[in-house]
Amino acid sequence: MREITYAQALREALREEMKRDESVILIGEDIGIHGGAFSVTKGLIEEFGPERVRNTPISEAGFVGAAIGAALTGLRPIAEIMYVDFSTIAMDQIVNQAAKLRFMTGGKTCVPLVLRTQGGAGRGNAAQHSQSLEAWYAHIPGLLVVMPSSPYDAKGLLKSSIRDNNPIIFIEHKLLYATKGEVPDEGQEYLVPIGKADIKRKGSDVTIVTWSLMVRKALSAAEMLAEDGIAAEVVDVRTLRPLDTETIVESVKRTGRCVVVHEACKTGGFGAEVVARVVEEAFDYLDAPVLRVAAADTPIPYSKTLEDWVIPSEADIVSAVRRVVDG
């Protein structure tokens, strides 16, 4: 397979689905000529025209509401919110409308909406453009939450999300856009199923459960640990809701130890849900307490030095793994 970037993989997914289904439209701020804040939609307005690639005013509540209305009337909109931080402006539309309409109509209607957005820190964008808010959305019944870590998963999961009849929060990490990975040739059809985790690295001593950018850091940490004879298994959940508890639990049963890693701050982070499920379903198999590695409970600083201190590092993951392995 060829190697392409995460951003290119997302663009290919959008292009292929727009060619396949004329009901797929794009909506958001500067997504036309500029291709969005991170150039993912670059070139699509020239190919599909302004009727299907619609620039909007700077009003997240407005265009997310419009996207929900479009979904209710037969279209499959993909709305892009520049930063997940800005999704707060559309919270009523997302949480009280999109997530609940299928339930409140007894299944007579559905909201096939993909909200593409990006989260995470690492670029010095400071506290209002660097948050990891996935736990908020994973808490809401009716919403699906997808967080791919590789170009292959990004393309396959975005295609699956576009075809799904549920509202989906599709969160891309800003530091992943330039990363490269193997992806089948454009036009070679493949889908990655929503709700299925992937074991990115096999191991026998400890299970590291993680998602998004932290998958790359976990794999790097696993390489370091291997030099000391510790075989870490890395489980990429890929989707937080639905969560593939079975794959996580089966891995923990094999290794007897578990470390959960995420970039969001620790208190109330989705890692706590993963820990709870491991304890509920694999307690008798654990040889050590389950540990979490997460960001400090503080807004993300602008200072590069402070930002690096707040965000989990490979060294933090290595330290946590050694604690559970060494007892």
Number of structural domains (the chain) is 2
pLDDT (tens digit per residue) in 11-57: 999 999 999 999 999 999 999 999 999 999 999 999 999 999 999 99
Contact call for residues 197 and 237 (beta carbons, < 8 A):
yes
- 38 with 170, same domain: the answer is yes
- 214 with 178, same domain: the answer is no
Query: Residues of the chain with pLDDT > 70: what percent?
Result: 100
In whole angstroms, what is the distance from residue 324 CA to residue 327 CA?
A: 5
Active-site residue list:
60, 129
In whole angstroms, what is the distance from residue 142 CA to residue 93 CA?
A: 13
- 32 with 153, same domain: the answer is yes
H-helix or E-strand containing 233?
Answer: strand 232-236
pLDDT of residue 187: 79
Residue with tokens 């969160």: 171
- 176 with 203, same domain: the answer is no
Domain end, chosen from 127, 152, 183, is at 183
Does residue 15 form part of some domain? Answer: yes
- Residues of the domain holding 21: 2-183
- 51 with 156, same domain: the answer is yes
pLDDT of residue 1: 85
Task: Using pLDDT thresholds of 50, 70 and 90, give the confidence band for residue 2.
Answer: very high
DSSP code of 120?
A: -
pLDDT of residue 28: 97
Is the peptide bond prior to 141 cis by the omega test (within 30 degrees of 0)?
no
Give the residue-averaged pLDDT of 192-205.
98
pLDDT of residue 186: 83
- 214 with 172, same domain: the answer is no
- 176 with 274, same domain: the answer is no
Half-sphere exposure of 23 (CA within 13 A, CB side): 13
Contact call for residues 36 and 28 (beta carbons, < 8 A):
yes
pLDDT of residue 214: 98
Contact call for residues 216 and 313 (beta carbons, < 8 A):
no
- 108 with 252, same domain: the answer is no
**Residue 235: partners with Cβ closer than 8 Å, 6 or more residues away:** 197, 198, 199, 200, 207, 208, 209, 210, 247, 248, 251
Chain-centroid distance, C-alpha 174: 11
pLDDT (tens digit per residue) in 246-286: 999 999 999 999 999 999 999 999 999 999 999 999 999 99
Domain end, chosen from 136, 159, 183, is at 183
> With 90 as the cut, is the pLDDT of residue 298 above it?
yes
